Chains A and B, each alone.
Chain A
Amino acid sequence: MKPGIVLFPGINRERDMAIALERAFGHAPRMVWHTETDLGDLDLLVLPGGFSYGDYLRCGAMAAQAPVMGAVRAHVARGGYVLGVCNGFQILTEAALLPGALLRNAGLRFISADCHLRVERTDTAFTAHWQPGAVFRAPMAHGDGNYFADAATLDRLEGENLVAFRYATAGGEVTAAANRNGSARAIAGILSPNLRVLGLMPHPEDLVDRLLGGEDGAPLFTALAAA
């Protein structure tokens, strides 16, 4: 699988993502500029974290209109893989490639802290390297990670088993205290119906090295590399 990272102005976690991808794939990802319209033979597009266009409008709203997004949509329509992390997840919702929206954190403050994510299904290209029921740690770093969708959408996501990760305790229990940004039904990440598009708020790419505190995030990337 050939990975590429889409760069919008103001994106700032592209280096972290490139390191994590290179560790798992054995080669560096291609960097795709926001004005490009031809993605070539890329199989996996990653929309990394940051503050695209400063997030001076709604988070991700400007990036969702960037020239490259036409190619991203075509890639999704072809059944290509897309991973959106943090600002990338926000962009995917603003582009309506995933449902719902990311609102201000419940406490109205930026949260930079480790959280625990419970893996809700392991039969996808993104999650195949976790055991069923696995819980992993990942840093979160966002001001707008409070997942919101109307009740019908949430029911559909759950009914179709499209919730990929939930905020939980280290023991895997979903509690209000573990859901620090206040996300609806503790949703941290969701999948598209064809299971090819994943958006999540926390940063597995920042926990792929024992020296930096652990390799909890590595299975996401090794699973993609093996898919």
Chain B
Amino acid sequence: MTQRPIDAALARDFGLSEEEYARALAIMGRALTLAELGVFSVMWSEHCSYKSSRNFLRQLPTKAPWVIHGPGENAGVVEIGHGLACVFKMESHNHPSFIEPYQGAATGVGGILRDVFTMGARPIANLNALRFGDPRHPVTRRIVDGVVRGIGGYGNCVGVPTVGGEINFHPAFNGNPLVNAMTVGVAPIDRIFLSAAAGVGNPVVYVGSKTGRDGIHGATMASAEFGRDAEEKRPTVQVGDPFTEKLLIEACLELMRTDAIVAIQDMGAAGLTSSSVEMAGKGGVGIDLDLDAVPQRETGMSAYEMLLSESQERMLMVLRPERAEAARAIFEKWQLDFAVIGRITDTGRFVARHQGRVEADIPLAPLADQAPLYQRPTAEGTKPAELPAARVENRWGLAEALERLLGCPDLCSRAWVWEQYDSTIGGQTVKRPGAADAAVVRIEGQAMALALTTDCTPRYCAADPEAGGRQAVAEAWRNLTATGARPLAVTDNLNFGNPEKPEVMGSFAAAIRGMASACEALNFPVVSGNVSLYNETEGRPILPTPAIGGVGVIDDAAAAVGIALGPWLDLVLVGQSRGWLGQSLWLREIAGREDGAPPPVDLAAERAAGDFVRGLILNGTVRACHDVADGGLLVAVAEMAMAGNVGVRLSTGPREVPGHAYWFGEDQGRYLLAVPEAASVVRAAEAAGVAAVRIGHSGGADLTLPDGGTISVVRLRAAHEAFFPAFMGS
């Protein structure tokens, strides 16, 4: 490889366009070395530079009084009270997870953990949003198995509970699954660590695992489509070591209790290159690296390989010189490598030396300022027409349709998956996976808890990306609200196809617009995120998937409610039901159609309903609460009944809406509340200008349906729990 001439052809193989390569040459004013070409290609990759997405991301609201650090840092930081901050982010590991599902998913978890503890936060929870191909596709099972094992293998060992997430299946993900991992941490508000380097002469310190030849050019791989040769890209996937990560967490947090650290950043995508370039660039200083001092796992590594390696579990720090030896002692106690590999300079240049030679010498300002930024052409598709419920034939009884829906891959029980993730470690998990609409994790030593969720409905986004983007944010806000939490902020993981295709960029632009409108209306700003483009295989893009990670706070963890229904309670439906069947799961799974417009979100009604529900939860009126989402009202009722192991007798729906549309429509902004007595709740809702109606009463062991059908909760549960064990079992 090193034998090839450093020219436009090699630059193209590294992912740089001819124009980008010419720009690099102009900045340098001379021929590039191999190491320099490597630096330019990874720093200007889509993955690191956001060159296609930056123009659009600016539209997202990022501010609120509680936001301490928005996008641009390693993770978002929001104030949660009692002198504490919540630090969180979601990030994709899609491409690696297709090539090597176990390590791809495992290192995705490891990478996002580092983004959070590098800011000084102890990670307290992990979530993951997963999209897989058609269960009938031959590789889906292998990918599900590897991804689930990888997430568990890393998260369980590193000792951070995996408390939530979501899973969808769709043929559009056959060749390109999505693995979006989210980590949430907590830090003292006055002990947040940033990445901007400072202090000429200060030592640059490398800690963690040794550098090997794994993951070289991973960032470039993540910025290209897959062809038939995807398997050959396996060497670009990194290998995770959760044991070392655990030691690294403890060592870094121990060091962070001192005043030794000036700046710190993890070595993630593009490894040593991006961490050192970004730290020096943000600080407006220069950096001089001595690559001979880099701890190496293999012999004979070149400068190019060391700069581009994505070996895991490594951090780069700038330390106060007088504290360096104390810092070394901490890392030695944790049996981790600690090496001074460079100095901060005042040259404004990135310099890497190896074996007596300068292998790279690049001015930092133009590397950042002249990074490509594209206003990609966009073409937005026509929005599908609404699908009136009356135009959809119904031949199925409610019980029959419900049983089939509860067993379908997108709605069935995820217990098979959750049971491979340690959700209780840390001793603070108040609501485990499946127990509530959002996971609830108490903060050690405090009464308060965080509510956490990930949400997106890709089929809505495919039909209408703007409506889908809006719905994803609204659903995250709703899921947090349904536990009693006050939604605070969002991290987003925008997964789309090839941005050079106008229709893909059009869906990206529209999704951002929809998200921005919801973030604005719900006062739910975006504080961190990640864009993953080129999610295509052989020219076919995935469904647009702007996954939303939401974080909320509940001052008293004991006030949080789950979805489990108790006996002898009234069920009250909050929100408007028009019987919206377009893009519903009933339409797809029962009627065999995937069409119509997705359900719109009325943001004013959303906010009013949510604020009303949260108030009722916090004043102790509500025994259980569940938002009405995928599958509609009857599925939500069944989920509450199964969780509480109790039956429900349902009343007849409104006359003006056809029964199947009322019970299975996916109208937005709705909640189901279990309360001792409905009348006062309905009156309070009326006073608040929120629609509310009593729809049934709990008790017994069966669901008694308004069309005369009956089905036992035991039978529902059997249908609900069958899919995953049967799919993955043998």
Contact = CB atoms under 8 A, between A and B. Distances in A.
Interface of A: 9-10, 12-13, 15-16, 19-20, 49-51, 53-56, 109-113, 139, 141, 143, 203, 205-206, 208-209, 211-213
B427 A53 contact: no
A204 B258 CA distance: 35
Interface string B538-552: 000000000000000
A16 B427 contact: yes
Contacts of B428: 212
B308 to A, nearest CB: 26
B427 A112 contact: no
A56 B425 CA distance: 20
Contacts of A10: 157, 243, 246-247
Contact of A13 (B244, B425, B432): B425
Contacts of B242: 51, 54
B419 A112 contact: yes
A110 B419 CA distance: 7
Contact of A110 (B156, B244, B424, B444): B156
A113 B419 contact: yes
B426 A141 contact: no
Given A53-B243, A113-B419, A211-B557, 8 more contacts: A10-B157, A54-B157, A54-B243, A109-B419, A110-B153, A111-B420, A212-B427, A212-B428
Interface of B: 149, 152-153, 156-159, 241-244, 246-247, 334-335, 418-430, 432, 442, 444, 557-558
By Cβ-Cβ distance, the 4 closest A-B pairs, closest first, are A12-B159, A54-B243, A16-B427, A141-B422
Q: Is the interface of A mostly helix, strand, loop or mixed?
A: mixed
A20 B427 contact: yes
A121 to B, nearest CB: 27
Given A112-B418, A211-B557, A203 B243 contact: no
Contacts of B243: 9-10, 51, 53-56
Contacts of B558: 211
Given A10-B246, A10-B247, A139-B424, A15 B444 contact: yes
B159 A50 contact: yes
A111 B417 CA distance: 10
Nearest to A210: B558
A136 to B, nearest CB: 15
A203 B419 contact: no
A12 B421 contact: no
B423 A112 contact: yes
Contact of B157 (A16, A20, A51, A109): A51
- The interface centre, meaning the residue of B428, B429, B442 with most chain A CB atoms within 10 A of its CB, is B428
A213 B158 CA distance: 24
B430 A211 contact: yes
Contacts of A55: 157, 243
Contact of A112 (B334, B420, B444): B420
- The interface centre, meaning the residue of A109, A111, A205 with most chain B CB atoms within 10 A of its CB, is A109
Contacts of B334: 9
